[in-house]
Amino acid sequence: MKKIGFVIATAFLIIIGLWSTVSAEAAGAGFTMDAVQPENQIGDASYFNLKIAPDQSQELTLRVKNLENQAIKIRISPNPAVTNANGQIDYSDHDAKRDTTAKYVITELVSSPQDVALAANETKDVKFTLTAPKEAFSGTIMGGFYAEKRSDDSADSSSNEGQMLTVKNNYSLVLGVALTENPDQNITPKLKLNAVRAGLSNEHTAVLANLQNIEPQAFGSMTVDAKIYKKGDDNVFKETKRDNQEMAPNSNYDFAIDWQKEQLEAGEYHLSLVATSGTQEWKFERDFSIAKLEAQAVNEKAVDTSKQSSNLWLYVIIGILVLIILFLFVFLLGRKKGKQEKDEA
C-alpha cells in the first residue's frame, strides 16, 4: 500500500506541475497556448493527458493567441521530457539525447515542429498528428509542446533554454503531454547508479554521479545526499546534498558532488549516495578512481578560485623577482656612478 500511495502522490505532483505551466501562460510571453481537449482526455487537466491505444492516430490541436498589438512568429516543437543537470524535469530540447531505457519518445510519435505566424491579437488553431506506438507499452510517455517567440534572425535556429513550469526570458511556454494506455497502472520508480567520474559542474570541479530512472514513471521531491571518502579513510572528504530533485520517466542526469572550488587530485575514492523520494529509498556504494591525466584535463578547464589563486602567487613571485633585479640594477648603477665621481675627483 505504501508503494501505491507513493506512486499516486508522485502522479499528483506531476499533474500539478503540468497544470501550473498553463496557469503562468500570460506572464510576459506575449501569447497564450491552450490544449483543445480530445475525447480521450483523462480528467479535466488543462494539458494533454491522454489514454491511447496501440497504433492509434489522432490530431492534437493547440489554440494559440497573440496578446500583442503587432504580428509575431512562434515555433512550436513537440519535445521529450528529460532530467536536466539541475535535477529538474525539462522540456526545452527537441534533440535531447535519448535515454537507453526509453522505449518510445514524443519526438517519434508527434509530427514535426511548426513555425506559426500570428497577426496582431489573432487566435489560431495549430494541429499536430499523434501516432501511438504499434505495440502496447507500460507506464507513461511524457513530453511537452514547447512554444518560443521567434525573432527574424532566429526563426530557423533552435533553442535549448527554458524549462517546464516557468515562463523564460526568451518568451517561451510549455504545454505538457502525457500518454498512457492504462491510467490505473501502478509503477514503482527504480533508480540506478551508472558511471562515477571527474568532471565540471557550472565550470567548477566536481565528481559526477550519473543517476538513471529506468522505469516509465516520473517522480519528484527527491533528496540526494552524496558523500565522498578517500579510500581507506572514514572521514567525509566531500559532500553535496540537494532537495527537490525530479526525474522524468526513463531519463538520467549527472548529480554533481561539489569539489568546493579546489583542484581535483588523482587517487582512489569511495562514493556513498542515498536518494529518497516519498517512501522510496535507494542506497549506492561505489569505489572509483581519478587518473592523473583525467584530473589535469578537468582542472585546466575549470574556473576555480584555487587555480586562480595559484596563478596569482606565481605572478606575485615573478613581480618580486623583477623588483629585486631592478633594485640590484639601480644599486650597481649607483655604485658605478659613485666610483666614477670619486676617480674624477
Whether the full predicted model's pTM is greater than 0.75, yes or no, is: yes
Q: pLDDT value at position 20?
A: 39
Contact 73, 145 (CB under 8 A): no
Residue ending a domain, among 135, 160, 180, is 180
Q: CATH number of the domain that 98 lies in?
A: 2.60.40.10
Q: pLDDT value at position 308?
A: 52
* DSSP for 174-198, written as a single string: EEEEEEES-TT------EEEEEEEE
**Of 253, 195, 247, 257, residue with least CA distance to 225:** 257
Q: Using CA atoms, how far apart are residues 25 and 217, in angstroms rounded to an integer?
A: 26
Work out the number of other CB atoms within 10 angstroms of the CB of residue 179: 24
**What mean pLDDT is reported for the chain?**
85
Report phi then psi at 207, rounded to 5: -110, 130
Residues 197 and 279 in one domain: yes
Fill in the DSSP letter of residue 30: S
Q: Which residue stretches of the chain are H helix?
A: 2-23, 106-109, 292-301, 305-344
Total length of the chain: 345
Strands 140-150 and 204-213: unpaired
Per the model's pLDDT, the better-predicted residue between 11 and 194 turns out to be 194
Contact 149, 166 (CB under 8 A): no
Average pLDDT for 118-126: 97
Its domain, for residue 143, covers: 2-180
Q: Using CA atoms, how far apart are residues 109 and 181, in angstroms rounded to an integer?
A: 14
Q: Using CA atoms, how far apart are residues 75 and 189, in angstroms rounded to an integer?
A: 33
Q: pLDDT value at position 157?
A: 41
pLDDT band at 23 (very low <50, low <70, confident <90, very high): very low
Residues 323 and 196 in one domain: no
Q: pLDDT value at position 186?
A: 86
Residues 92 and 158 in one domain: yes
Q: Using CA atoms, how far apart are residues 41 and 251, in angstroms rounded to an integer?
A: 25
Look-up: residue for cell 572521514?
235
Residues 226 and 336 in one domain: no
Residues 200 and 295 in one domain: yes
Residues 132 and 270 in one domain: no
Q: At 115, which amino acid appears? A: D
Average pLDDT for 250-269: 96
* Alpha-carbon distance values, 215 to 6, 72, 105, 139, 188 (Å): 15, 40, 13, 8, 8
Residues 167 and 204 in one domain: no
Residues 141 and 279 in one domain: no
Residues 260 and 316 in one domain: no
Q: How far is CA 260 from the centre of its chain?
A: 21
Q: pLDDT value at position 321?
A: 78
Residue ending a domain, among 122, 145, 180, is 180
Fill in the DSSP letter of residue 329: H
Q: Is residue 186 part of a domain?
A: no
Q: At 268, which amino acid appears? A: E
Q: Is residue 50 part of a domain?
A: yes
Contact 123, 271 (CB under 8 A): no
pLDDT band at 345 (very low <50, low <70, confident <90, very high): low
Res. 5: pLDDT tops 90: no
Q: Using CA atoms, how far apart are residues 109 and 105, in angstroms rounded to an integer?
A: 7
Contact 207, 268 (CB under 8 A): no
Average pLDDT for 65-69: 96
Q: pLDDT value at position 244?
A: 97
Residues 165 and 34 in one domain: yes
Residues 231 and 195 in one domain: yes
Q: Is residue 185 part of a domain?
A: no
Residues 127 and 238 in one domain: no
Contact 15, 49 (CB under 8 A): yes
Nine-digit cell string for 323? 623588483
Nine-digit cell string for 307? 587555480
Q: pLDDT value at position 320?
A: 80
Residue ending a domain, among 269, 286, 301, is 301
